[in-house]
Amino acid sequence: MRSATMPPVDPRSKSALAVHRRHVLSAGVSTAAVSMLTRPAASQVPEAQRDPRDPLRLSFHINDRDFHAALDPRTTLLDALREHFALTGTKKGCDHGQCGACTVLIDGRRVLSCLTLAATVENARVTTIEGLANGDGTLHPMQQAFVDHDAFQCGYCTPGQIMSAVACVHEGHAQNDVQIREFMSGNLCRCAAYPNIVAAVKQAAPLMKET
C-alpha cells in the first residue's frame, strides 16, 4: 500500500529551488521595505553616519529666481532643471556630453548640464533658455536672430545652440564665420541648420555689444 504522506523533496530538485527562491525574495523585499520605512531623514543623521545616497537639501539661483529641492547627490543639473524645476527648455540629447543640447550658463560661462552635478552649482547663477528674454517678453538679440534667419528646423538643438552662441559672443569668439563655426562646434544639429546658425550669430553679436 502506498503512503498518503508527501515524499521527501530532493533539495536539488526544481520545486525545492523554487520554494527557496520565493523565500529569499520575500525575505529580501520585506527587509528592504522595513529598512526604507525606518530610515531616518538625512537631516536627522549625524554627518559622519549619513548614507552618501541620502537626499541633499539644496538651493539654486536660476534665471533670477530661487529654487529649493531635496536631491539625490548624483542628480545632474540637467535632470534637476527638467524634472524638479519644470525648466524643460534645456534639452537632453545624448546625456553624455557629446551634443551640446543641454548647454546652460553658469555665472555666464557655458557648461554641459548633463555632465554637471546639481549640487556643485548651489551658489552659482544659472541661466537657461527660459531666462534669456526680457520680463516683458522681448526676445534676447540671439533668440531674435535665430528667428530672423530661420536657424532651426526641428528645434531640438536650438536652446543649446542659443545658450552656446550667447557665451560665444561674450567670449569674443564670434569675429568671423570661421571662428563662429569653430567655437560653436560643440553644438550638433541633426537638421544641419549650420549656415543659418552662423548667420544668426553674426547678426546678434553687434547687437549684444550695444545692450
Which of 80, 82, 93, 183: binder of ligand FES (CB under 6 A)? 93
Provide the 3-class DSSP secondary structure of residue 197: helix
Q: How many CB atoms lie within 10 A of CB 106?
A: 16
Angle, alpha carbons 49-54-56 (nearest 5°): 110
8 Å CB contact between 104 and 127:
yes
Which of 172, 191, 206, 209: binder of ligand FES (CB under 6 A)? 191
- Spatial separation of the C-alpha atoms in residues 61 and 68, rounded to whole Å: 9
Q: Is 45 in the site for ligand FES (CB under 6 A)?
A: no
Q: Is 156 in the site for ligand FES (CB under 6 A)?
A: yes
Which of 9, 16, 94, 133: binder of ligand FES (CB under 6 A)? 94
- Spatial separation of the C-alpha atoms in residues 135 and 24, rounded to whole Å: 59
What part of residues 98-127 is at the interface with ligand FES (CB under 6 A)? 98-102, 112, 114
User: In angstroms, what is the minimal distance from the CB of 163 to ligand FES?
Assistant: 12
User: In angstroms, what is the minimal distance from the CB of 101 to ligand FES?
Assistant: 5
User: In angstroms, what is the minimal distance from the CB of 149 to ligand FES?
Assistant: 12
Among 99, 116, 110, 92, CA closest to 186: 99
- CB of 120 or CB of 138, closer to ligand FES: 120
Per the structure block, which three cell numbers stand in for 172? 569674443
Site residues (CB under 6 A) for ligand FES?
92-95, 97-102, 112, 114, 152-158, 189-191, 193
